[in-house]
Amino acid sequence: MNRAVVLLSGGLDSTTTLALAMAEGFETYALSFDYGQRQKVELAAARRVAQSLGVREHRIALIDNDIFGRSALTDDIDVPKGRSVAEIAEGIPATYVPARNTIFLSYALAWAESLVATDIFIGVNALDYSGYPDCRPEFITAFEKMADLATKTGVEGAHFKIHTPLIAMSKAEIIRKAGELSVDLSLTHSCYDPAPDGRACGLCDSCQLRRKGFGEAGLADPIVYAV
Amino acid sequence: MNRAVVLLSGGLDSTTTLALAMAEGFETYALSFDYGQRQKVELAAARRVAQSLGVREHRIALIDNDIFGRSALTDDIDVPKGRSVAEIAEGIPATYVPARNTIFLSYALAWAESLVATDIFIGVNALDYSGYPDCRPEFITAFEKMADLATKTGVEGAHFKIHTPLIAMSKAEIIRKAGELSVDLSLTHSCYDPAPDGRACGLCDSCQLRRKGFGEAGLADPIVYAV
Protein backbone atom coordinates (compact mmCIF):
# COMPACT_ATOMS: atom_id res chain seq x y z
CA MET A 1 0.00 0.00 0.00
CA ASN A 2 1.62 3.24 -1.11
CA ARG A 3 1.91 6.02 1.41
CA ALA A 4 0.95 9.61 0.77
CA VAL A 5 1.30 12.78 2.83
CA VAL A 6 -1.87 14.89 2.62
CA LEU A 7 -1.96 18.54 3.67
CA LEU A 8 -5.09 18.97 5.78
CA SER A 9 -6.40 22.33 6.97
CA GLY A 10 -9.78 20.93 7.94
CA GLY A 11 -11.56 22.94 5.25
CA LEU A 12 -13.79 21.72 2.45
CA ASP A 13 -11.03 21.42 -0.15
CA SER A 14 -8.34 19.63 1.87
CA THR A 15 -10.92 17.27 3.37
CA THR A 16 -12.17 16.27 -0.08
CA THR A 17 -8.55 15.91 -1.21
CA LEU A 18 -7.87 13.53 1.69
CA ALA A 19 -10.94 11.47 0.79
CA LEU A 20 -9.75 11.32 -2.84
CA ALA A 21 -6.27 10.14 -1.80
CA MET A 22 -7.86 7.38 0.26
CA ALA A 23 -10.20 6.45 -2.60
CA GLU A 24 -7.10 6.08 -4.81
CA GLY A 25 -5.80 3.49 -2.34
CA PHE A 26 -3.08 5.46 -0.55
CA GLU A 27 -2.23 4.91 3.09
CA THR A 28 -2.60 8.51 4.24
CA TYR A 29 -0.47 10.63 6.57
CA ALA A 30 -2.29 13.89 7.26
CA LEU A 31 -0.29 17.01 8.02
CA SER A 32 -1.72 20.17 9.58
CA PHE A 33 0.03 23.28 10.85
CA ASP A 34 -0.26 25.47 13.87
CA TYR A 35 1.24 28.68 12.53
CA GLY A 36 -0.37 31.14 14.89
CA GLN A 37 -3.52 31.44 12.83
CA ARG A 38 -5.93 33.72 14.69
CA GLN A 39 -8.47 30.99 15.10
CA LYS A 40 -7.70 27.45 16.18
CA VAL A 41 -11.18 26.22 15.16
CA GLU A 42 -9.42 25.16 11.97
CA LEU A 43 -7.12 22.73 13.81
CA ALA A 44 -10.06 21.24 15.69
CA ALA A 45 -11.75 20.63 12.33
CA ALA A 46 -8.58 19.00 10.97
CA ARG A 47 -8.51 16.64 13.96
CA ARG A 48 -12.19 15.70 13.51
CA VAL A 49 -11.71 15.08 9.78
CA ALA A 50 -8.52 13.00 10.21
CA GLN A 51 -10.21 10.83 12.80
CA SER A 52 -13.47 10.51 10.88
CA LEU A 53 -11.77 9.48 7.65
CA GLY A 54 -9.33 7.14 9.41
CA VAL A 55 -5.89 8.35 8.38
CA ARG A 56 -2.86 6.26 9.34
CA GLU A 57 -1.35 9.18 11.25
CA HIS A 58 -2.14 12.86 11.78
CA ARG A 59 0.55 15.36 12.74
CA ILE A 60 0.12 19.01 13.63
CA ALA A 61 3.46 20.71 13.07
CA LEU A 62 4.21 23.91 14.93
CA ILE A 63 5.50 26.71 12.73
CA ASP A 64 7.17 29.75 14.14
CA ASN A 65 4.58 32.48 13.80
CA ASP A 66 7.20 35.24 13.69
CA ILE A 67 8.48 34.06 10.35
CA PHE A 68 5.26 34.83 8.53
CA GLY A 69 4.73 38.42 7.59
CA ARG A 70 1.65 40.51 8.12
CA SER A 71 -1.50 38.80 6.99
CA ALA A 72 -5.16 39.02 7.92
CA LEU A 73 -4.95 35.33 8.88
CA THR A 74 -2.19 35.79 11.45
CA ASP A 75 -2.28 39.44 12.49
CA ASP A 76 -4.77 41.98 13.61
CA ILE A 77 -5.70 43.13 10.10
CA ASP A 78 -9.35 43.13 9.07
CA VAL A 79 -10.50 40.09 7.11
CA PRO A 80 -12.35 41.39 4.00
CA LYS A 81 -16.12 40.89 4.31
CA GLY A 82 -19.09 40.87 1.96
CA ARG A 83 -17.09 40.88 -1.27
CA SER A 84 -18.68 39.44 -4.37
CA VAL A 85 -17.09 36.43 -6.04
CA ALA A 86 -15.96 38.76 -8.86
CA GLU A 87 -14.27 41.05 -6.33
CA ILE A 88 -12.65 38.05 -4.62
CA ALA A 89 -11.18 36.92 -7.95
CA GLU A 90 -9.35 40.24 -8.35
CA GLY A 91 -5.76 40.45 -7.17
CA ILE A 92 -4.06 38.96 -4.14
CA PRO A 93 -6.18 39.21 -0.97
CA ALA A 94 -5.16 40.52 2.47
CA THR A 95 -5.30 36.92 3.70
CA TYR A 96 -2.21 36.09 1.61
CA VAL A 97 0.53 34.66 3.86
CA PRO A 98 4.08 34.94 2.44
CA ALA A 99 5.42 31.60 1.16
CA ARG A 100 2.82 29.62 3.10
CA ASN A 101 2.29 26.76 0.68
CA THR A 102 6.04 26.63 0.02
CA ILE A 103 6.68 26.03 3.71
CA PHE A 104 3.76 23.60 4.02
CA LEU A 105 4.93 21.56 1.01
CA SER A 106 8.54 21.63 2.27
CA TYR A 107 7.44 20.05 5.54
CA ALA A 108 5.34 17.53 3.59
CA LEU A 109 8.39 16.74 1.47
CA ALA A 110 10.55 16.12 4.56
CA TRP A 111 7.92 13.86 6.10
CA ALA A 112 7.32 12.03 2.81
CA GLU A 113 11.01 11.33 2.38
CA SER A 114 11.31 9.94 5.90
CA LEU A 115 8.24 7.72 5.21
CA VAL A 116 9.82 6.53 1.93
CA ALA A 117 6.83 8.07 0.14
CA THR A 118 6.89 10.12 -3.05
CA ASP A 119 3.24 11.20 -3.14
CA ILE A 120 1.97 14.43 -1.62
CA PHE A 121 -1.60 15.73 -1.90
CA ILE A 122 -2.63 19.38 -1.63
CA GLY A 123 -6.13 20.77 -2.17
CA VAL A 124 -5.21 23.84 -4.19
CA ASN A 125 -7.70 25.08 -6.68
CA ALA A 126 -7.20 27.36 -9.66
CA LEU A 127 -10.86 27.75 -10.57
CA ASP A 128 -13.05 29.84 -8.24
CA TYR A 129 -9.61 31.40 -7.98
CA SER A 130 -8.49 32.42 -4.54
CA GLY A 131 -5.87 34.83 -5.86
CA TYR A 132 -3.02 33.13 -4.02
CA PRO A 133 0.09 32.76 -6.23
CA ASP A 134 1.03 29.53 -4.47
CA CYS A 135 -2.20 27.83 -5.57
CA ARG A 136 -1.35 27.96 -9.29
CA PRO A 137 -0.40 24.89 -11.34
CA GLU A 138 2.88 26.52 -12.45
CA PHE A 139 3.92 26.86 -8.81
CA ILE A 140 3.14 23.19 -8.15
CA THR A 141 5.16 22.07 -11.19
CA ALA A 142 8.12 24.21 -10.11
CA PHE A 143 7.93 22.75 -6.60
CA GLU A 144 7.97 19.19 -7.96
CA LYS A 145 11.11 19.89 -10.00
CA MET A 146 12.81 21.49 -7.01
CA ALA A 147 11.82 18.55 -4.77
CA ASP A 148 13.55 16.02 -7.03
CA LEU A 149 16.73 18.09 -6.97
CA ALA A 150 16.56 18.69 -3.21
CA THR A 151 16.41 15.11 -2.01
CA LYS A 152 18.24 11.84 -1.71
CA THR A 153 15.10 10.23 -3.18
CA GLY A 154 15.43 12.41 -6.28
CA VAL A 155 19.16 11.77 -6.63
CA GLU A 156 18.39 8.04 -6.53
CA GLY A 157 16.09 8.48 -9.52
CA ALA A 158 12.59 8.56 -8.02
CA HIS A 159 10.17 11.45 -8.64
CA PHE A 160 7.96 13.28 -6.23
CA LYS A 161 4.41 13.81 -7.35
CA ILE A 162 2.40 16.69 -5.91
CA HIS A 163 -1.22 15.63 -6.50
CA THR A 164 -3.68 18.48 -6.95
CA PRO A 165 -6.93 16.64 -7.69
CA LEU A 166 -9.07 19.78 -7.21
CA ILE A 167 -6.99 22.11 -9.32
CA ALA A 168 -9.48 22.35 -12.20
CA MET A 169 -12.71 21.81 -10.28
CA SER A 170 -15.29 24.42 -9.39
CA LYS A 171 -16.36 24.69 -5.76
CA ALA A 172 -19.69 23.09 -6.73
CA GLU A 173 -17.88 20.14 -8.32
CA ILE A 174 -15.73 19.71 -5.21
CA ILE A 175 -18.85 19.65 -3.03
CA ARG A 176 -20.52 17.08 -5.30
CA LYS A 177 -17.34 14.96 -5.27
CA ALA A 178 -17.28 15.06 -1.46
CA GLY A 179 -20.88 13.85 -1.53
CA GLU A 180 -20.02 10.95 -3.86
CA LEU A 181 -17.24 9.95 -1.43
CA SER A 182 -19.66 10.22 1.54
CA VAL A 183 -17.52 12.83 3.24
CA ASP A 184 -19.28 14.43 6.18
CA LEU A 185 -18.83 18.12 5.35
CA SER A 186 -20.38 19.16 8.66
CA LEU A 187 -16.95 18.35 10.15
CA THR A 188 -15.17 20.92 7.99
CA HIS A 189 -14.40 24.55 8.71
CA SER A 190 -13.80 27.18 6.04
CA CYS A 191 -14.36 30.58 7.66
CA TYR A 192 -11.47 33.07 8.06
CA ASP A 193 -13.16 34.94 10.89
CA PRO A 194 -15.59 32.80 12.90
CA ALA A 195 -17.84 34.17 15.65
CA PRO A 196 -16.74 33.61 19.28
CA ASP A 197 -19.05 30.57 19.44
CA GLY A 198 -17.23 29.04 16.45
CA ARG A 199 -19.95 29.65 13.84
CA ALA A 200 -18.75 30.68 10.38
CA CYS A 201 -19.13 34.44 9.72
CA GLY A 202 -20.80 33.87 6.36
CA LEU A 203 -19.26 37.01 4.85
CA CYS A 204 -15.50 36.47 4.42
CA ASP A 205 -14.13 35.39 1.03
CA SER A 206 -13.92 31.79 2.12
CA CYS A 207 -17.55 31.68 3.36
CA GLN A 208 -18.74 33.45 0.20
CA LEU A 209 -17.03 30.91 -2.07
CA ARG A 210 -18.31 28.01 0.00
CA ARG A 211 -21.92 29.27 0.00
CA LYS A 212 -21.85 29.94 -3.73
CA GLY A 213 -20.50 26.40 -4.25
CA PHE A 214 -23.24 24.74 -2.23
CA GLY A 215 -25.79 26.91 -4.06
CA GLU A 216 -24.50 25.86 -7.48
CA ALA A 217 -24.29 22.22 -6.38
CA GLY A 218 -27.93 22.44 -5.32
CA LEU A 219 -27.05 21.09 -1.88
CA ALA A 220 -27.56 22.37 1.65
CA ASP A 221 -24.45 23.38 3.58
CA PRO A 222 -24.51 21.37 6.84
CA ILE A 223 -22.60 24.02 8.83
CA VAL A 224 -24.25 26.90 10.67
CA TYR A 225 -23.52 30.52 9.74
CA ALA A 226 -23.68 33.53 12.05
CA VAL A 227 -25.14 35.70 9.25
CA MET B 1 20.20 50.01 1.84
CA ASN B 2 18.93 46.71 0.47
CA ARG B 3 17.92 44.03 2.91
CA ALA B 4 19.02 40.42 2.71
CA VAL B 5 18.10 37.33 4.72
CA VAL B 6 21.19 35.24 5.49
CA LEU B 7 20.97 31.63 6.68
CA LEU B 8 23.38 31.31 9.59
CA SER B 9 24.29 28.02 11.25
CA GLY B 10 27.29 29.48 13.07
CA GLY B 11 29.72 27.38 11.04
CA LEU B 12 32.64 28.51 8.94
CA ASP B 13 30.72 28.68 5.65
CA SER B 14 27.59 30.51 6.77
CA THR B 15 29.66 32.97 8.84
CA THR B 16 31.82 33.84 5.84
CA THR B 17 28.65 34.13 3.73
CA LEU B 18 27.20 36.61 6.23
CA ALA B 19 30.42 38.66 6.15
CA LEU B 20 30.29 38.66 2.32
CA ALA B 21 26.65 39.85 2.31
CA MET B 22 27.61 42.71 4.62
CA ALA B 23 30.67 43.53 2.49
CA GLU B 24 28.32 43.79 -0.52
CA GLY B 25 26.39 46.46 1.38
CA PHE B 26 23.27 44.56 2.40
CA GLU B 27 21.43 45.24 5.63
CA THR B 28 21.45 41.69 6.99
CA TYR B 29 18.75 39.65 8.72
CA ALA B 30 20.30 36.43 10.01
CA LEU B 31 18.14 33.32 10.32
CA SER B 32 19.08 30.24 12.35
CA PHE B 33 17.02 27.16 13.19
CA ASP B 34 16.47 25.10 16.27
CA TYR B 35 15.42 21.81 14.69
CA GLY B 36 16.29 19.46 17.51
CA GLN B 37 19.91 19.11 16.44
CA ARG B 38 21.66 16.93 19.00
CA GLN B 39 24.00 19.70 19.99
CA LYS B 40 22.97 23.27 20.66
CA VAL B 41 26.59 24.50 20.59
CA GLU B 42 25.79 25.41 16.99
CA LEU B 43 23.07 27.88 18.03
CA ALA B 44 25.38 29.49 20.59
CA ALA B 45 27.94 29.97 17.80
CA ALA B 46 25.28 31.51 15.54
CA ARG B 47 24.37 33.99 18.31
CA ARG B 48 28.03 34.95 18.86
CA VAL B 49 28.62 35.43 15.13
CA ALA B 50 25.46 37.48 14.57
CA GLN B 51 26.34 39.79 17.43
CA SER B 52 30.03 40.05 16.49
CA LEU B 53 29.30 40.93 12.86
CA GLY B 54 26.48 43.32 13.77
CA VAL B 55 23.45 42.05 11.86
CA ARG B 56 20.28 44.16 11.86
CA GLU B 57 18.30 41.29 13.40
CA HIS B 58 18.88 37.63 14.26
CA ARG B 59 16.03 35.15 14.55
CA ILE B 60 16.19 31.54 15.67
CA ALA B 61 13.14 29.79 14.27
CA LEU B 62 11.88 26.69 15.98
CA ILE B 63 11.25 23.77 13.62
CA ASP B 64 9.23 20.78 14.63
CA ASN B 65 11.83 18.07 15.10
CA ASP B 66 9.32 15.28 14.39
CA ILE B 67 9.02 16.32 10.78
CA PHE B 68 12.63 15.49 9.97
CA GLY B 69 13.37 11.87 9.39
CA ARG B 70 16.18 9.84 10.87
CA SER B 71 19.55 11.54 10.57
CA ALA B 72 22.78 11.38 12.49
CA LEU B 73 22.32 15.11 13.19
CA THR B 74 18.96 14.74 14.91
CA ASP B 75 18.75 11.11 16.05
CA ASP B 76 20.82 8.63 17.93
CA ILE B 77 22.69 7.35 14.88
CA ASP B 78 26.50 7.35 14.91
CA VAL B 79 28.15 10.31 13.23
CA PRO B 80 30.80 8.91 10.82
CA LYS B 81 34.33 9.45 12.14
CA GLY B 82 37.84 9.42 10.73
CA ARG B 83 36.81 9.24 7.07
CA SER B 84 39.21 10.59 4.48
CA VAL B 85 38.13 13.51 2.31
CA ALA B 86 37.85 11.07 -0.62
CA GLU B 87 35.51 8.88 1.43
CA ILE B 88 33.48 11.92 2.51
CA ALA B 89 33.00 12.89 -1.14
CA GLU B 90 31.36 9.55 -1.92
CA GLY B 91 27.56 9.32 -1.79
CA ILE B 92 25.08 10.92 0.60
CA PRO B 93 26.24 10.82 4.25
CA ALA B 94 24.30 9.65 7.33
CA THR B 95 24.10 13.31 8.38
CA TYR B 96 21.71 14.02 5.48
CA VAL B 97 18.46 15.51 6.81
CA PRO B 98 15.44 15.16 4.47
CA ALA B 99 14.53 18.43 2.75
CA ARG B 100 16.48 20.50 5.25
CA ASN B 101 17.69 23.28 2.96
CA THR B 102 14.26 23.34 1.27
CA ILE B 103 12.63 24.09 4.61
CA PHE B 104 15.36 26.56 5.62
CA LEU B 105 15.09 28.46 2.32
CA SER B 106 11.27 28.40 2.53
CA TYR B 107 11.42 30.13 5.90
CA ALA B 108 13.99 32.58 4.52
CA LEU B 109 11.66 33.27 1.60
CA ALA B 110 8.73 34.00 3.93
CA TRP B 111 10.83 36.34 6.05
CA ALA B 112 12.34 38.03 2.99
CA GLU B 113 8.92 38.70 1.52
CA SER B 114 7.66 40.21 4.75
CA LEU B 115 10.79 42.43 4.86
CA VAL B 116 10.19 43.49 1.23
CA ALA B 117 13.55 41.89 0.41
CA THR B 118 14.38 39.71 -2.58
CA ASP B 119 17.91 38.67 -1.61
CA ILE B 120 18.69 35.51 0.34
CA PHE B 121 22.19 34.24 1.13
CA ILE B 122 23.09 30.60 1.82
CA GLY B 123 26.60 29.21 2.31
CA VAL B 124 26.27 26.06 0.24
CA ASN B 125 29.37 24.73 -1.40
CA ALA B 126 29.71 22.35 -4.31
CA LEU B 127 33.49 21.92 -4.13
CA ASP B 128 34.89 20.00 -1.17
CA TYR B 129 31.51 18.41 -1.83
CA SER B 130 29.47 17.50 1.20
CA GLY B 131 27.32 15.01 -0.71
CA TYR B 132 24.07 16.77 0.19
CA PRO B 133 21.72 17.02 -2.81
CA ASP B 134 20.32 20.31 -1.52
CA CYS B 135 23.74 22.00 -1.74
CA ARG B 136 23.96 21.70 -5.53
CA PRO B 137 23.64 24.68 -7.90
CA GLU B 138 20.80 22.97 -9.81
CA PHE B 139 18.77 22.79 -6.60
CA ILE B 140 19.35 26.49 -5.91
CA THR B 141 18.28 27.46 -9.44
CA ALA B 142 15.12 25.35 -9.14
CA PHE B 143 14.32 26.95 -5.77
CA GLU B 144 14.68 30.46 -7.23
CA LYS B 145 12.25 29.65 -10.04
CA MET B 146 9.78 28.16 -7.60
CA ALA B 147 10.11 31.19 -5.29
CA ASP B 148 9.10 33.65 -8.03
CA LEU B 149 6.01 31.55 -8.78
CA ALA B 150 5.12 31.10 -5.11
CA THR B 151 4.96 34.71 -4.05
CA LYS B 152 3.13 38.00 -4.41
CA THR B 153 6.56 39.55 -5.00
CA GLY B 154 7.10 37.24 -7.99
CA VAL B 155 3.61 37.86 -9.40
CA GLU B 156 4.35 41.60 -9.23
CA GLY B 157 7.39 41.05 -11.44
CA ALA B 158 10.33 41.05 -9.01
CA HIS B 159 12.79 38.16 -8.82
CA PHE B 160 14.23 36.43 -5.81
CA LYS B 161 17.97 35.88 -5.86
CA ILE B 162 19.48 33.07 -3.80
CA HIS B 163 23.11 34.14 -3.40
CA THR B 164 25.61 31.30 -3.02
CA PRO B 165 28.93 33.14 -2.91
CA LEU B 166 30.84 30.03 -1.73
CA ILE B 167 29.42 27.59 -4.26
CA ALA B 168 32.62 27.28 -6.31
CA MET B 169 35.18 27.94 -3.57
CA SER B 170 37.41 25.37 -1.88
CA LYS B 171 37.42 25.26 1.90
CA ALA B 172 40.88 26.85 1.85
CA GLU B 173 39.59 29.72 -0.31
CA ILE B 174 36.65 30.24 2.06
CA ILE B 175 39.05 30.42 5.01
CA ARG B 176 41.28 32.92 3.20
CA LYS B 177 38.22 35.01 2.24
CA ALA B 178 37.12 35.04 5.90
CA GLY B 179 40.60 36.30 6.79
CA GLU B 180 40.41 39.10 4.21
CA LEU B 181 37.09 40.16 5.71
CA SER B 182 38.57 40.04 9.25
CA VAL B 183 36.03 37.46 10.38
CA ASP B 184 36.89 36.00 13.78
CA LEU B 185 36.69 32.27 13.00
CA SER B 186 37.25 31.38 16.65
CA LEU B 187 33.55 32.22 17.08
CA THR B 188 32.44 29.55 14.61
CA HIS B 189 31.48 25.94 15.23
CA SER B 190 31.63 23.19 12.60
CA CYS B 191 31.71 19.86 14.45
CA TYR B 192 28.83 17.35 14.11
CA ASP B 193 29.67 15.62 17.39
CA PRO B 194 31.44 17.87 19.91
CA ALA B 195 32.82 16.63 23.24
CA PRO B 196 30.75 17.31 26.39
CA ASP B 197 32.93 20.39 27.07
CA GLY B 198 32.04 21.79 23.61
CA ARG B 199 35.38 21.09 21.91
CA ALA B 200 35.20 19.91 18.30
CA CYS B 201 35.73 16.13 17.92
CA GLY B 202 38.29 16.57 15.15
CA LEU B 203 37.19 13.37 13.39
CA CYS B 204 33.70 13.86 11.90
CA ASP B 205 33.34 14.78 8.22
CA SER B 206 32.85 18.44 9.05
CA CYS B 207 35.97 18.62 11.26
CA GLN B 208 38.01 16.75 8.64
CA LEU B 209 37.01 19.17 5.88
CA ARG B 210 37.66 22.18 8.11
CA ARG B 211 41.13 20.95 9.15
CA LYS B 212 42.09 20.15 5.58
CA GLY B 213 40.95 23.64 4.57
CA PHE B 214 43.04 25.40 7.20
CA GLY B 215 46.00 23.21 6.27
CA GLU B 216 45.69 24.10 2.58
CA ALA B 217 45.20 27.77 3.41
CA GLY B 218 48.39 27.63 5.47
CA LEU B 219 46.58 29.11 8.46
CA ALA B 220 46.11 27.99 12.05
CA ASP B 221 42.56 27.01 13.05
CA PRO B 222 41.72 29.14 16.12
CA ILE B 223 39.34 26.55 17.61
CA VAL B 224 40.40 23.75 19.96
CA TYR B 225 39.95 20.10 19.00
CA ALA B 226 39.45 17.16 21.39
CA VAL B 227 41.63 14.93 19.20
B142/A contact by beta carbon, under 8 A: yes
Structural domain contains residue B90 = no
Q: What is the pLDDT of residues A16-36, one digit of tens each?
A: 999 999 999 999 999 999 877
pLDDT of residue B197: 86
Percent of chain A topping pLDDT 90: 67
Structural domain contains residue B213 = no
Q: What is the pLDDT of residues B187-208, one digit of tens each?
A: 999 888 888 888 999 998 889 9
Structural domain contains residue A225 = no
A111/B contact by beta carbon, under 8 A: yes
Structural domain contains residue A227 = no
B52/A contact by beta carbon, under 8 A: no
**pLDDT mean over B43-60:** 95
Compute the Cα dihedral for A176, A180, A185, A190 and give only its sign: negative
Structural domain contains residue B39 = yes
pTM to 2 decimal places: 0.89
Contacts of A150 (CB under 8 A, 6+ apart): A109, B99, B101, B102, B133, B134, B139, B142, B143
Structural domain contains residue A117 = yes
Contacts of B70 in chain A (CB under 8 A): 114
Contacts of A13 (CB under 8 A, 6+ apart): A123, A124, A125, A166, A174
Contacts of B97 (CB under 8 A, 6+ apart): A110, B35, B68, B69, B71, B73, B74
Query: How far is the C-alpha of A47 from the C-alpha of A28, rounded, in Å?
Result: 14
B106/A contact by beta carbon, under 8 A: yes
Structural domain contains residue A223 = no
Distance of CA A174 to the CA centre of its chain: 13
CA A83 vs CA A89, A205, B14, B227: distances in Å: 10, 7, 47, 67
Contacts of A58 (CB under 8 A, 6+ apart): A8, A29, A30, A31, A32, A46, A47, A50, A51
Contacts of A131 in chain B (CB under 8 A): none
Q: What is the CATH number of the domain that holds A46?
A: 3.40.50.620
For B22, phi then psi, to 5°, come to -70, -40
Print the domain residue range for B67.
Answer: 3-78+98-190
Q: What is the pLDDT of residues A43-99, one digit of tens each?
A: 999 999 999 999 999 999 888 767 665 555 555 556 677 777 677 666 677 678 889
Q: What is the ipTM of this complex?
A: 0.87
Categorize the per-residue pLDDT at A130 as very low, low, confident or very high, splitting at 50, 70 and 90. low
Total structural domains within chain B: 1
State yes or no: pLDDT of A41 exceeds 90: no
pLDDT of residue B205: 84
Categorize the per-residue pLDDT at B97 as very low, low, confident or very high, splitting at 50, 70 and 90. confident
Query: How far is the C-alpha of B216 from the C-alpha of B221, rounded, in Å?
Result: 11
Structural domain contains residue B102 = yes
From A66, A67, A133, residue closest to B152, measured CB to CB: A133
Q: What is the pLDDT of residues A165-205, one digit of tens each?
A: 999 999 999 999 999 999 999 999 988 888 888 899 999 88
Contacts of B59 in chain A (CB under 8 A): 66-67
Question: Nearest chain A Cα to B66, which residue?
Answer: A61
Categorize the per-residue pLDDT at B70 as very low, low, confident or very high, splitting at 50, 70 and 90. low
Q: What is the mean pLDDT of chain B?
A: 89
Contacts of B100 in chain A (CB under 8 A): 110
